[in-house]
Amino acid sequence: MRAYQGARQQTTPVWFMRQAGRSLPEYRELRVGTRMLDACLNPELASEITLQPVRRHGVDAAIFFSDIVIPLRLAGVDVDIVAGKGPVLGKPIRTAADVAELTSIDPASLDATVFAPIAEAVRRTVTELETIGAGDTPLIGFAGAPFTLAAYLVEGGPSKDHIRARTLMHADPAAWAALMDWTADVTGAFLRAQVLAGASAAQLFDSWAGALSLDDYEQYAAPASARALTHVRDLAYPVAAAGVRSVPIVHFGVGTGELLTAMHDVGADVVGIDYRIPLDEASRRLGHTVPVQGNIDPAILDAPWPVLEAHVLDVLERGKSAPSHVLNLGHGVPPETDPAVLTRLVEFVHGI
């Protein structure tokens, strides 16, 4: 949390996106017979899965186990996670009439009662984290950015180019704006529920923002991301001898090297950097004034250890150009990753 606030730490903190699940045998065993979204909405399961990598790897933060489409599911949208494919919508949102039907669901209806399973899972996790190690491991909440959610809604599932979503934003700007406002409020409420229940930081995850030009991002996506973050921007917590401190916000996107400044300007404190751009260049584009997170190439996790070690040292060195740096992957942990490599990597970083 201090690194997120811009204070460089003697030891660079490290955690991994998608560290909860996928590569862990204990996760796969726990998930047998339970569908992904059902697991996310089971407080006991979601909490246990969140805690597994903290126990195994000794990472410096837990990331809440959930999925970006959970708030859509809770709003009544017909969506499911299909193995090997990802989120799939029962009815894509392709026209102004479709948007009107979807947005007739009032985001305000997603109240504490609806988010009760999420809040309970967060509370369970925070309580358990106080008993692990030194008891100072924070929980990071996360939610999908409005553009990424809107892209799934319009495409009906994963897409390589998100052309239907990009077409809608230009063909019917009014319908697009209504869709983005709705996704911003739905995903913002999801993130707020996690922070109110005890998460110490919030990460907005824009998987598909890299499909946009800078102009399109600034005009058609950034305002909604800023709107989503207003749901947590006002939240703070007491700090000993320091009054109160704002809950730090991390903004991460894939393939977003050209969008970094705009992504910071929506209200983020920290910008996550993927593996496609050197960390020092990313920091330069951010004016060397913004804390950064990233940017180990996930592909190198399966390389020989000396190759991975050299890569990590290079990332750490380049990260010195920013006020502070939280080491992470430039995307999520690949499912086939050997968990022992991640444990060794954490130990290596902590030993520097």
Which residues participate in catalysis according to the annotation? 18, 22, 31, 67, 152
| 97 contact partners, CB below 8 Å, separation of at least 6 | none
Residue located via tokens 């998460």: 199
Q: Tell me the Cα Rg of the chain.
A: 19
Where does residue 257 rank: exposed (0-12), middle (13-18), buried (19+ CB within 10 A)?
middle
- For the four alpha carbons of 341, 347, 351 and 352, in that order, the dihedral sign comes to positive
DSSP assignment, residue 277? S
Q: Is 62 helix (H, G, I), strand (E, B) or coil?
A: strand
- For the four alpha carbons of 257, 261, 266 and 270, in that order, the dihedral sign comes to positive
Where does residue 93 rank: exposed (0-12), middle (13-18), buried (19+ CB within 10 A)?
buried
User: What Å distances lie between residue 100 and 152, 199, 317, CA to CA?
Assistant: 17, 33, 50
Q: Are residues 63 and 50 in contact, defined by beta-carbon separation less than 8 angstroms?
A: yes
